[in-house]
Amino acid sequence: MNSEKLNIKDIITIVLLALINVLLFMASSLLYVSPITILLMPIIYSVLEGIVFFTIGVKVPKKGALFIYCAVRGGLGGYLPYVVCYLIAGVVAELILMKGNYAKKSFLTVCYMLVQLIASVGGTFYPYVMAYNSFFGNKEDFVKQNNGENILAAADILHSWVAVALVAGILVASFIGAMIAQKIMKKHLLADVPDETGVV
């Protein structure tokens, strides 16, 4: 991994790129039209957000770059468990990349899949499953105050085998998102650089 330190230009680049995915996240309010589309949100994010993630990995191959991305991406989500999970995801990504190369596709792919999965814990699984009772409180009041019929229905659906299917869907979708990003970044990825064991 590149040991060069981040500079102001790098940080600005990371933040601006991260804001692209933040805008995508904000636009997802359109998906609250049904319980199914709500549950599909982390899958859709996982397909689309890889381009920015890989661009940062390739264009700013320095220690801390992906942590900053995760901090911005989570911080602007405005929900504490979501923020915490994104920060954890950023630390995990950096620990993995300490062993490899930012622009090596295999390392970036694993990092991206884990980041998306951990982020979904804070954004979907925690409020809808782990903190169901406290998050929804009085169900009737929640529906009235938040126009949350679809959200409540999505949470109820998630209390089943659908939760396992959603985890699998996020992993598959993030892998697909990584493949799409690799195609776009093909000319820049150090795909043929072997690691210390000689494995490409």
Q: Which residues contact 193 (CB under 8 A, 6 or more apart)?
A: 101, 103, 104, 200
Token pair for 114? 């884990």
pLDDT for the residue numbered 130 = 92
pLDDT tens column, 28-70? 778 888 999 999 999 999 999 999 999 998 888 899 999 999 9
Token pair for 127? 């409020």
Evaluate whether 102 touches 143 at the Cβ level (below 8 Å).
no
pTM attached to this predicted model: 0.85
Cα separation, 148 vs 77, in Å, equals 19
Is 143's pLDDT higher than 80? no
Instruction: Please give the average per-residue pLDDT across 158-180, as a whole number.
Output: 95
Evaluate whether 168 touches 44 at the Cβ level (below 8 Å).
no
Evaluate whether 49 touches 74 at the Cβ level (below 8 Å).
no
Question: Domain locations in the chain?
Answer: 8-184
Cα separation, 200 vs 194, in Å, equals 4
